[in-house]
Chain A
Amino acid sequence: MNLYLENAGVSQGKEVILEGITYDFEPGRIYVLMGRTSAGKTSLMRTIAGLIELTQGKMLFDGKDFDALPTWQRNTSMVYQQFINYPNLTVLENVTFPLRRSGMSRALAEETAHKLIDKVGLGDFLDRLPGKLSGGQQQRVAIARALIRNANVLLLDEPLMNLDYKLREQLREEFRDLLTTARNSVTIYATTEPSEALLIGDELLIMHEGKVIQHGKPSAVFEHPNSVTVAKIVNDPPMSILPAKISDGMLCIGDLLRLRIPMHLVGIPDGVYQAGFRASELTISTDGEVTEQGVVDLVEVAGSETLIYVNTPTGEIVIQKEGIHGYHVGEKLGVSIPSARTFLFNPSGELVVAPGN
C-alpha cells in the first residue's frame, strides 16, 4: 500500500512546478515536507491528490497507476492551511460527510464520528457550524474529518500556519499523537517550521524550487544538511554562514580570525570554503577567547530565548541565547566561534563536513 513516485514532474506552460521527484512513501509513517513558501510543497500534495495533473513521470499506489484515477477515486484526505470545512454543515455533519459518501449508514457513521470528535476535544460542539468556532477548533474539525476514514494518503498542508503562537505549540503535540493513529495511511505533512518537522516527522523531505534536495531522518538532515540551502531551511534562527579558508593547518574565518583546525576538519584539503554555525552554538564571549568583534544590530526575544543579531566585519552572525537578556542595539560584543561545531561547505554550497553529534 505504498505510494511511489518516479521522476514525477509538473510543468504549466514554461513554468516548471515540480521536477524529477522519485520517492517511495510507506503507510504508517509521517513524511514531512519542508521548504520555503512556493518551494513546491503544496503543488506536490495537490498532484498526489489529483488536483494537479502530472505532466511527467509516474505515480503508483500499491503498484497501480494512481495518476489515471480521478481525484474522487483516490481516497485521499487533506487538511488545508486555511481553515476549510463545509460551512453549511455542523461539526458532526462535517466529520460524518466522508463516511456517508462511502456509503456507511448514518448511525454507524455518527457513532464513529462521535468517538473521534471527543478525541479532538470538540464533544461539546457537535451541532455548531464551523464559522462559530475559533481557528484552532476549526482545524481540529478538519483533522477529524481527514482521519475519520482510512484514507490511502493523508495530506496536511501547513495546518498550523494560521494559528496563534500558543495554540500552535499545543496543537503540534496533539496532532502528532493523532497522526500516529493513522497506521494505514501514507501521511504527508508540509511545514516551514523546523521544530514542527523534528517533532512530527518520521522522514523529512527538503524541497527547493520544485525538487526534493535532501531526504532522511529529521535529526539526520538536521545534523548533516547537504547544502547551505538545506542548512538555511532547517535552522530557525538561521545558520550564520561566513567565508572561510583552510591553510597551513589553520581554519581562517573571514580575514581576521585564525583558529586551530578542529578534529573533524583534519585531513580536509586546503582551500576556500564557507563555514556555517548554528545560532544556538554561538556564544557571547566574556573573556578573550577566540572571538569575532561586532556590533549588536537587533535583539529579538523568541519564546524563551534571546536572538542577538551581530554585525561583524566578516558578516552577520545570529546568536541564540537561552533566557531573556537585554542587549542594546549598538552595543559592542565579542562572539566566540565554536570551531568544533563548524559546518563546512564548499564555495558552491555543498556540504563538506558536518560536526556530527
Chain B
Amino acid sequence: MSKTLKYVFLTFWTLFVFVPLSWALTTSFKTPDAVNQGATFIPWVQFEPTVAGWQDILGISGYANLIPNMVNSAIVTFFASLISVSLGGFAAYGLSRFRYGWKYYGNSDIIFFFIAQRILPPVVLAIPFFLLLKGLNLLDTHLGLILVLTSGLMPIVVWLMVDFFNQIPREIDEMAMLEGCNPFQAFRRTILPLSKPGIAISTIFCVIFGWNDLFFSLVLTFTNVKTLPAAVVALNGTVTPFWTLSASAIFSILPLIGFVFIVERYLAKGGFSGAVR
C-alpha cells in the first residue's frame, strides 16, 4: 500500500477517535440556544461557551451532584481491583508453578473455570446476586458491590498473569527455595519484584472494567453507593438537558483518560506480552 494511503487511513482513524469526544466536550459548554440551533462544532466561532452544564452536575446549581458518585466509583473500583489482583495473582502464580488435580481435572481446567466466568453476562447473575446480597444484608453497600465485581475481575487477572508467570524462569523461585525461602517467601522476595509489568497491566484492566460497570450498580445499589455510570445513566433517563448530560459524560470518563496517559507505557511494553503468548 502506498504511503499516502497509509497516512490518509491513520488520519481518518484518529479523527474518528476524536470526534465523539470533542463533540461531547464542546456540547458540555453550549447554551440551550446553541444546542437547539442544530449541530455546531467550534466554540466562540459558532457559539458562545458557558459553564452552566458543569454547574448542573457539580452541585453548584442544585440540579445534581455527581461528586459522591465519583467517590463511590473510586472506592468500589479500588477495592475490587485490589482484591482481584492479589487473590488472582496468587492463584495465577500457583497455577503457573504447581500441578493441581482433582480426579482427571488439571490446571488447564481450573484456568478455564476462571475464564469461563467472563462468558456470563451480568444480567444473568443480577437476580440471584440481588437475592444473595439481600440475604446477607449487603444490598446498597460498598462491600456487596465490591464482592460482585471481584467475581468478574479476578478471571481477567488469572488469565493475564498465568502466562506472565510462566515466562519468568522457574529456576529463580526454585533457587530461592533452595536457599531457604518457603514458597510464599520465594514468591514475595523474588517473583513479586519481577512481576511489576504484569501486575500493572492486570490492574489497568481491572480498573477499566471495574470503573465501567453499569449493570450491577444499577441493580444492586440504590442511593448510598450508586456509581458514576449508573448515576449518569439515571440522569439520561430524566429530562436532563443535552449540555448537562455531555458535561456528566466528560466528567465520568475523564479520570480514566487521565489514567491512560499515566500508564500507557505499561500497556505498550512487556506487561501484555504474557497474555498474548
Contacts and interface: CB of A to CB of B under 8 A. Distances in A.
The answer to whether A and B touch in the complex, with CB atoms under 8 Å apart, is yes
A51 B174 contact: yes
Contacts, number: 54
Given A82-B169, A87-B194, A102 B182 contact: no
Contact of A84 (B172, B177, B180): B172
Interface string A290-313: 000000000000000000000000
B180 A49 contact: no
Interface stretch (A73-81, A173-181, A347-355): A73-81
A78 B178 contact: yes
B179 A77 contact: yes
B172 A72 contact: no
Contacts of A84: 169, 171-172, 175
B214 interface: no
A155 to B, nearest CB: 8
B65 to A, nearest CB: 46
Interface residues of A, number: 22
A121 interface: no
A97 interface: yes
A327 interface: no
A101 B193 contact: no
Given A80-B171, A82-B171, A88 B194 contact: yes
A322 to B, nearest CB: 40
Interface size class of B (residues with CB under 8 A): 10 to 19
A70 interface: yes
Contacts of A82: 169, 171
Contacts of B180: 72-73, 75, 98, 101-102
Nearest to A49: B178
A280 interface: no
B181 interface: yes
Nearest to B169: A84
A87 B172 contact: yes
A82 B183 CA distance: 22
A277 B71 CA distance: 84
Contacts of A72: 177-183, 185-186
A78 B235 CA distance: 64
B96 to A, nearest CB: 15
A235 to B, nearest CB: 31
19 contacts: A49-B178, A71-B177, A72-B180, A72-B186, A73-B180, A74-B178, A77-B178, A80-B171, A80-B175, A84-B172, A84-B175, A86-B172, A87-B172, A87-B194, A88-B190, A88-B193, A97-B179, A98-B180, A101-B185
